[in-house]
Amino acid sequence: MKPVLYFVIPCYNEQEVLPVTAPMFKTALEGMISDGMLSPDSKIMFVNDGSRDKTWSIIEQLSSEHTCFEGISLSRNRGHQNALLGGLMYAKERADVTISIDCDGQDDINASREMVAKYLEGFDVVYGVRDSRESDTFFKRTTARGFYKLMKGMGAQTVYDHADYRLMSRRALEALSEFKEVNIFLRGMVPLVGFKSTSVYYNRTPRLAGKSHYPLKKMLSLAIDGITSLSTKPIRLVTGLGFFVTLVSFAGIIWSIVQYFLDQSVAGWSSTVAIVCFLGGIQLLSLGIIGEYVGKIYLETKNRPRYIISEETEKKD
Ligand code: UDP
Ligand code: MG
């Protein structure tokens, strides 16, 4: 029995790029089917993440024209990570293996053949890693590099330069589904799932049409989510900082007592103000970081659904 592959492709307001990339996905899939690597029941599945443009009607159109296309639609925009998870969990019931990929053509679809080859060799997880970022702007490149460095420094292990282009077997997805957290950062969670994994390398090309949905603000929020959902190192850093400041203040107290006995104490207005401000700042920072985690706990305890599917494309057999 040849394995059934599902491409899982989240789409948010992608009406410009979808008509360009959909045929590319189709060609790649058909190539692998005709080469006998995959079952003819393999599919390209789009996850419409509450798009406000014509994305869903394009998906419906595609699925009515070709049996290899399928789609589900989320009830509203939930963000890339939730859309991807929703798609993967849906595909898990139908496929032996999935490949998640963005719909903008930035991730080289041809690398998926190598991924499938690795799967056939017995790997459960295959990461797509970019071997060059020349096509990204200087700004995007440096901020993205900074992002991985920050993540690593803060104790969140991720595969360097790997985004969400990856192959996962059903077994790995079953394990991933046991991770019940609401704040999801798949890049950090998949390595925790374990199993035999490897990487394939590809060139990242510019977006074929439309524009990025990851401005700096969203990247920062992804970084904060990633760090706080994977590691408690920032809290420990705050504790360390608090400890250090306490030591420094002790030295200050001893110094002021010595000055007092040496009869050299002057009206130390500026030093007092400086210390008060400094401590105030540190305290606010610490409260902020702790608050970030308390907020996460609050969200997790509510145990809300991470995605809600509202529609599916027509089934045809
Ligand atoms: N995306 C999504 N929901 C969102 C934002 C983005 O499903 O709220 C999808 C988008 O359609 C694309 C992928 O996530 O397929 C990556 O987004 P984008 O290309 O804008 O990010 P970049 O490649 O610039 O980091
Ligand atoms: Mg992109």
Question: Cα–Cα distance between 202 and 208 in angstroms, integer?
Answer: 16
Q: Within 10 Å of residue 47's Cβ, how many Cβ atoms? A: 30
Quick one: what percent of the chain has pLDDT higher than 70? Answer: 94
List of residues 6+ apart from 13 with CB closer than 8 A: 51, 52, 53, 55, 210, 213
Confidence at residue 51, expressed as pLDDT on a 0 to 100 scale: 92
* Torsion sign (Cα): 101, 12, 28, 109: negative
Question: Cα–Cα distance between 84 and 168 in angstroms, integer?
Answer: 12
Q: Which of 102, 166, 219, 307 to mutate to test the pocket of ligand 1 (most atoms within 8 A of CB)?
A: 102
Q: What are phi and psi of 295, to 5 degrees?
A: -60, -40
Mean pLDDT of the chain, nearest integer: 84
Residue type (1 letter), 223: A
Question: Cα–Cα distance between 231 and 153 in angstroms, integer?
Answer: 10
Q: Is residue 80 over pLDDT 80?
A: yes
How far does the centroid of ligand 1 lie from the alpha carbon of residue 283, in Å?
Answer: 36
Residue 11 near ligand 1, beta carbon < 6 Å? yes
Confidence at residue 118, expressed as pLDDT on a 0 to 100 scale: 92
Q: Which atom of ligand 1 is nearest to the CA of 11?
A: 11
Model pLDDT for residues 52-68, shown as the tens digit of each residue = 999 999 999 999 988 89
How far does the centroid of ligand 1 lie from the alpha carbon of residue 292, in Å?
Answer: 25
Neighbouring C-alpha atoms within 13 Å toward the C-beta of 203: 4
Confidence at residue 55, expressed as pLDDT on a 0 to 100 scale: 92
Q: Which atom of ligand 1 is nearest to the CA of 14?
A: 11
Burial class (CB in 10 A: 0-12, 13-18, 19+), 155: middle
CA-closest residue to ligand 1 atom 6 = 80
Residue 132 near ligand 1, beta carbon < 6 Å? no
Q: Is residue 99 over pLDDT 90?
A: yes
Q: Which of 12-21, 178-187, 205-214 has the lowest mean pLDDT?
A: 205-214
Closest C-alpha among 198, 231, 218, 201 to residue 81: 218
Confidence at residue 206, expressed as pLDDT on a 0 to 100 scale: 77
Confidence at residue 48, expressed as pLDDT on a 0 to 100 scale: 94
Q: How far is CA 36 from CA 65, 120, 154, 196, 283, in A?
A: 24, 12, 44, 24, 62
Task: Please say whether the beta carbons of 44 and 8 come within 8 A.
Answer: no
Q: Which atom of ligand 1 is nearest to the CA of 78?
A: 8
Residue 17 near ligand 1, beta carbon < 6 Å? no
Length of the chain: 317
The b/e string for 67-99 (b: 16+ C-beta within 10 A; e otherwise) is ebbbbbbbeebbbbbbbbbbbbbbbbeebbbbb
Model pLDDT for residues 215-243, shown as the tens digit of each residue = 778 778 887 887 877 777 777 777 778 77
Model pLDDT for residues 34-53, shown as the tens digit of each residue = 988 899 999 999 999 999 99
The predicted model gives 252-258 an average pLDDT of 77
The pairs formed by 49-52 with CB atoms below 8 angstroms and a separation of 24 or more are 49/10, 49/11, 49/12, 49/74, 49/77, 49/78, 49/79, 49/80, 49/82, 49/83, 50/12, 50/74, 50/75, 50/76, 50/77, 50/78, 51/11, 51/12, 51/13, 51/14, 51/15, 51/77, 52/13
CA-closest residue to ligand 1 atom 16 = 102
Helix (H, G, I), strand (E, B) or coil at 90: helix
Domain 5-230+304-312, CATH 3.90.550.10 — does that match? yes
Confidence at residue 293, expressed as pLDDT on a 0 to 100 scale: 83
Instruction: Show the tokens assigned to 158.
Output: 């991720």
Strand partners, 74: 309
Which ligand has the nearest atom to the CA of 48?
1
How far does the centroid of ligand 2 lie from the alpha carbon of residue 56, in Å?
Answer: 19
Model pLDDT for residues 148-191, shown as the tens digit of each residue = 788 778 777 777 778 889 999 999 998 888 888 877 888 888 88
Residue 213 near ligand 1, beta carbon < 6 Å? yes
CA-closest residue to ligand 1 atom 23 = 212
How far does the centroid of ligand 2 lie from the alpha carbon of residue 98, in Å?
Answer: 19
SS3 content of the chain, % helix, strand, coil (to 5): 50, 15, 35
Confidence at residue 8, expressed as pLDDT on a 0 to 100 scale: 96
Residue-range domain boundaries for the chain: 5-230+304-312
